[in-house]
Chains A and B, each alone.
Chain A
Amino acid sequence: MIDRLTLLQKIGVYIATFFFLLFILMPFIEMIRVSLRPMSHLMTADFTWWSEDFSLQAYRDMWVTVPLLGRYIFNSIFVASAVTLITMIVVIPAAYAYARLEFPFKSLSLGGFLAVNMFTGAVLLIPLYRVLRSLSMLNTYWAMIIPGVAFLIPTGIWLLRSYLERIPRELEEAAYVDGASRLYTLRRVVLPLAAPGLIVVGTAVFIGAYAQQFLFAITFNNVREIQPLPAGLYEFIGYQDVTWNEMMAAALTGITPVMIVFLFLQKYLVAGLTAGAVKE
């Protein structure tokens, strides 16, 4: 009852939501429109909502212009997934330690991790290049995965910690009393309870990984076959021409798999966020 809205209020909410979503989705609308027009009609200042020559031609041509496009899309997803997997493996124990245990330098090191968030890879590029080179990781998938993991660890620890803190200690203590080892407790008791938090943090990490691959890819890698999508999109920029329509088509196609996965995950995402909202 408390939540029921009058008809007028409902209409108001719909209108406001419409404008809110319009703001959010406008660039996508534009990208779709650009991808549907042939190049010759793209650069015209006459604005038309719909044109007869809207077609899906660009979506066919883009595979020809950039033959490795499918590979790029795969690479993006692969790298982001690998980053997420490794990050979670590293973050879960660490977040648990910060959530539950006491040890010297605890606050300091946590603050230190947060501090890593404070600068982007953009600033550390050249020293980082040298480090990767001495580890023989350049021009491999590792070149994009390892830096990605490193820069996402702080966020992961920070976010997961607050979820783990909310799990009642009594459950763990019960396990100890029954003779369980710490690792066993961590694996069998804590993790299942932290599942919503894990999904949320895993999702946030995946998105982060997906978003920042660009910089590392163009700097640390020049093997075309393993480039991720954002770097691959640059191939649509030719000597004096940019095939905008195909580039947009490729961009939209590239993010579709991720969006579809999101459609399925969104239920868990919101549930997870609700279960342990990020509190301090």
Chain B
Amino acid sequence: MTLVAEGAAPERMQRRELSDRAFAWLLISPALLFILVIVVWPLAETIRLSFTDATLGGENFVGIANYAALFADPKFWQTVGRTFYWMVLAVSLKLIVGLIGASLLNAAIPGKALFRVLVMPPWVIPVAIGVIGWKWMYNGYFGLISGLLQEFGLVEDRVALLATKTSAFYSAIVTDVWVGTPMVTLFFLAAMQGVSKDLYEAAWVDGASRWYRFRRITIPQIMPVIVSMALLSAIWTFNSFEIIWILTEGGPRGATTTLIIDTYKVAISSQRFGEGAARAVVIVVLLATFSLFYLWFLNRVNRQYGAK
């Protein structure tokens, strides 16, 4: 820059330094206000409720009784385990299917623009509507899946996928994957398209196979996206409520009851707000711990793969 500017810079920097902070807070304040009123305050209230035995009628302070009862209940630990299993399985499947889908959509074939549009509907529609569609398909008597399987002679009798514990759980997983895959696919696709062609060229010149190029170039290059999508997806999947609720309401016999379903049943269905609040707090703590661990992992990955 010019001499004049250089000379003037420090003074301006000084001025900027002070107003930097103020400016920043000014910029953030609307967002902060929203969050404080709509999220933080009800959350504080929820935490407070978790130390009471609040029900419809009133409340008394009970200290950590709710938490003690919760941790002492073997069913609670089963639910925690089930929720993590649900999350890990669903997210893994979403990532894998998303990678496959993104690769397919990235391939140089005519019609790929159309295909990309066709991937979007599950993401665009309200989740509730899509899940109702799946519920219909899973019906043992009138559903598409049972009908098709019988039609093609793959099964003899009707297949009631939501009626037994194992099949209900995995059917819910399939629906959850269906809901989450489009977004993952599209983000992966975008990331793949951002990978520099030079890298591929160099490897190709050296005679690398397609699979090798995928494994050694594509994946590492988009790894930061994979990891960040994984975290977002994990959080949403952990709390995935509508999907399970509409399909099975947590049944049969608790086979699909994850922490959020349990919390809803206790807080809203049974009107036991205190106990429900305790569960809600547990969910937040678990997710926060998980996320912290994940962000640490993310940092390591970033350093390793040198992105940014």
In-complex A–B contact (CB below 8 Å) = yes
Q: Which A residues contact B (CB, under 8 angstroms)? A: 2-5, 10, 13-14, 16-17, 20-21, 23-31, 33-34, 42-45, 47, 76, 89-91, 93-94, 96-98, 101-104, 106, 109, 111-120, 122-128, 130-131, 146-147, 149-151, 153-155, 157, 176-177, 182, 204, 207, 210-211, 213-215, 229-230, 233, 244, 247-248, 251, 254-255, 258-259, 262-263, 266, 269-270, 272-275, 277-280
Is residue B204 within 8 Å, beta carbon to beta carbon, of the partner chain?
yes
Contact among A26, A93, A204 with B144 in the assembled complex (CB-CB below 8 Å): A26
The distance in angstroms between the C-alpha atoms of A68 and B129, with both chains bound, is 18
State the majority secondary structure of interface residues on B: helix
Contact B39–A150 (Cβ < 8 Å): yes
Stretch at the interface among B67-75, B163-171, B186-194, B250-258: B186-194
The distance in angstroms between the C-alpha atoms of A147 and B34, with both chains bound, is 9
In the assembled complex, which residues on chain B have CB atoms less than 8 Å from the CB atom of A213?
126
In the assembled complex, which residues on chain A have CB atoms less than 8 Å from the CB atom of B214?
none
Q: A156 — nearest CB in chain B belongs to which residue?
A: B31
30 CB < 8 A contacts A-B = A2-B197, A2-B204, A5-B107, A17-B115, A24-B118, A45-B147, A47-B151, A90-B30, A97-B24, A97-B28, A112-B35, A116-B35, A117-B232, A119-B239, A122-B260, A123-B276, A125-B268, A127-B41, A130-B45, A157-B31, A214-B126, A255-B129, A258-B125, A259-B121, A274-B190, A277-B194, A278-B191, A278-B228, A279-B225, A280-B307
Is residue B80 within 8 Å, beta carbon to beta carbon, of the partner chain?
no
The distance in angstroms between the C-alpha atoms of A17 and B224, with both chains bound, is 25
Contact B129–A251 (Cβ < 8 Å): yes
The distance in angstroms between the C-alpha atoms of A255 and B133, with both chains bound, is 14
Taking residues whose C-beta sits less than 8 angstroms from the other chain, chain B's interface range is: 35 or more
Contact B280–A119 (Cβ < 8 Å): yes
Contact A270–B181 (Cβ < 8 Å): no
- The proximity string for B residues 139-153 relative to A, scoring 1 for CB distances below 8 Å and 0 otherwise, is 001111001101100
Q: Which of B2-49 contact A (CB under 8 A)?
A: 5, 12, 19-21, 23-28, 30-32, 34-35, 37-39, 41-43, 45-46, 49
The distance in angstroms between the C-alpha atoms of A230 and B224, with both chains bound, is 35
Contact among B34, B121, B126 with A149 in the assembled complex (CB-CB below 8 Å): B34
Is residue B298 within 8 Å, beta carbon to beta carbon, of the partner chain?
yes
Q: Which of B56-76 contact A (CB under 8 A)?
A: none
Contact B42–A127 (Cβ < 8 Å): yes
A96-B27, A113-B31, A123-B283 known; A118 and B288 CB under 8 Å? yes
Interface pairs A-B: 9 shortest CB-CB? A273-B190, A47-B147, A27-B133, A150-B38, A127-B42, A93-B27, A127-B45, A97-B27, A103-B24
Contact B104–A262 (Cβ < 8 Å): no
- CB of A69 to closest CB in B, whole Å: 14
Contact among A26, A117, A147, A215 with B38 in the assembled complex (CB-CB below 8 Å): A147
Q: B271 — nearest CB in chain A belongs to which residue?
A: A126
Contact B260–A266 (Cβ < 8 Å): no
A13-B109, A97-B28 known; A266 and B227 CB under 8 Å? no
The distance in angstroms between the C-alpha atoms of A259 and B224, with both chains bound, is 30
The distance in angstroms between the C-alpha atoms of A255 and B123, with both chains bound, is 11
The distance in angstroms between the C-alpha atoms of A122 and B244, with both chains bound, is 13
In the assembled complex, which residues on chain A have CB atoms less than 8 Å from the CB atom of B137?
26-27, 30
In the assembled complex, which residues on chain B have CB atoms less than 8 Å from the CB atom of A89?
30
Q: A16 — nearest CB in chain B belongs to which residue?
A: B104
The distance in angstroms between the C-alpha atoms of A24 and B41, with both chains bound, is 39
- CB of A149 to closest CB in B, whole Å: 6
Contact among B24, B30, B108 with A101 in the assembled complex (CB-CB below 8 Å): B24
A24-B119, A118-B288, A131-B38 known; A211 and B308 CB under 8 Å? no
